[in-house]
Amino acid sequence: MVERTLRERIADGTYPPDSQLPPMDDIARELGVSRGTVAAVLRKLGAQDPPLVRVIPGYGSFVIGDVEGETS
């Protein structure tokens, strides 16, 4: 559910390329899941080839591609 929601929001432009995602705590609260679940999904999206997001500890998570796999 978390991965699908984030992918949909990236695809529909809610979170466009080069934008910062909301804090993990906010996403977790909105979707009714734990922060750890959100972190795991963001790691997965960052590890795919090509990556969809980049997580920078202490700074946040950023959209770096789109759901078709094109990086910006």
- 13-48 confidence digits (pLDDT tens): 999 999 999 999 999 999 999 999 999 999 999 999
The vertex-64 CA angle with 53 and 66, nearest 5°, equals 90
- Domain architecture of the chain: domains with CATH: 2-63 (1.10.10.10)
- 52-72 confidence digits (pLDDT tens): 999 999 999 999 977 664 444
Contacts of 36 (CB under 8 A, 6+ apart): none
Surface-to-core class of residue 49, CB atoms within 10 Å of its CB (0-12 exposed, 13-18 middle, 19+ buried): exposed
Classified as helix, coil or strand, 33 is coil
